[in-house]
Amino acid sequence: MLETRALCKSFGALTVADNIEFGLAAGARHALIGPNGAGKTTFINMLTGRLEPTTGTIVLGGEDITRLAQAARVKRGLGRTFQINTLFKDLTVLDNVALGIAERLGVAGRLWRPASAYKTVRDEAMAQLESLGIGGDAAARVVDLPYGKQRLVEIAIALGLKPKVLLLDEPAAGVPSHESERILEVLDRLPAEIAILIIEHDMDLVFRFAQRITVLVQGQVLVEGTPDEIAADRRVHEVYLGEGHGHG
């Protein structure tokens, strides 16, 4: 579904992505982990097109998308969420989701009829919010929402794009532990056909969610495997020395 070949990125002498070979199968549940500064967000930003790789190629659904702009990648089914809430703060929760849906349906640039006349967009946005359990907040402005719910809006916007591949950048970041359960439930119920790559620091979440895990260290893939293999891998333990996450 999504593949990178010999992907490299350097800022001057600093190499933040070193020859990354990565594959994401259709319907995958894949996690990308690694210590701070390993280059995880850089990697995501190259996949989505916010950053251009120095060398290497990115292939989505058989097509080379390395040089495509962000918007073109989204149109081809690549969705993402952000580690730090990246929302339309002053707009309603419904409009946050509706904007993406309208964009996908190709009506977002229409000038003459009021947005409220586009019932399909509104209904779909509403359905999306309800499926994540935040339908009751549709009319609220995003700024007025508690942080945990804002994280759900992040996911709702991305799902509204009906992505084939979804990149989740620390979906539970900053969420208090009693609320992160809610996010996990949402993740568990994501449509099976979407290939998902999740970046996450919370190892409980990673090991519960992922079927495969890639460990990134200093811009390089250290190891890739099933959760059991990763849990048993000595090199991974060395990297996470002292962090003790109780998974082996």
141 CB neighbour count, 10 Å cutoff: 15
Give which of 204, 223, 135 is closest to 213, Cα–Cα.
223
- Identify the residue whose tokens are 């500064």: 37
Part in contact with other proteins (CB under 8 A); list of ranges 13-21, 53-61, 85-93, 187-195: 85-93
**Strands of 63-64's sheet, edge to edge?**
14-24, 2-11, 55-60, 63-64
- Identify the residue whose tokens are 């006349």: 117
State which of positions 33-52 bind other proteins (CB under 8 A): 48, 50
Q: Does 107 bind other proteins (CB under 8 A)?
A: yes
Q: Does 122 bind other proteins (CB under 8 A)?
A: yes
Q: Does 102 bind other proteins (CB under 8 A)?
A: yes
CB 239 within 8 A of CB 222: yes
55 CB neighbour count, 10 Å cutoff: 13
The one among 19, 57, 92, 131 contacting other proteins by CB under 8 A: 92
Smallest separation (angstroms) from other proteins to the CB of 7 = 20
Could you give the string, one character per residue 50-69, with x where binding to other proteins holds by CB under 8 A and - elsewhere?
Answer: x-------------------
Choice between 53 and 160, CB closer to other proteins: 160
Q: Is 15 exposed, middle or buried (0-12, 13-18, 19+ CB in 10 A)?
A: middle
Give which of 241, 232, 235, 205 is closest to 220, Cα–Cα.
235
Choice between 70 and 226, CB closer to other proteins: 70
Smallest separation (angstroms) from other proteins to the CB of 66 = 17
Q: Does 87 bind other proteins (CB under 8 A)?
A: yes
- Binding residues for other proteins, per CB under 8 A? 48, 50, 70-75, 79-80, 82, 86-92, 94-95, 98-100, 102-104, 107-118, 121-122, 125, 138-139, 157-158, 160-161
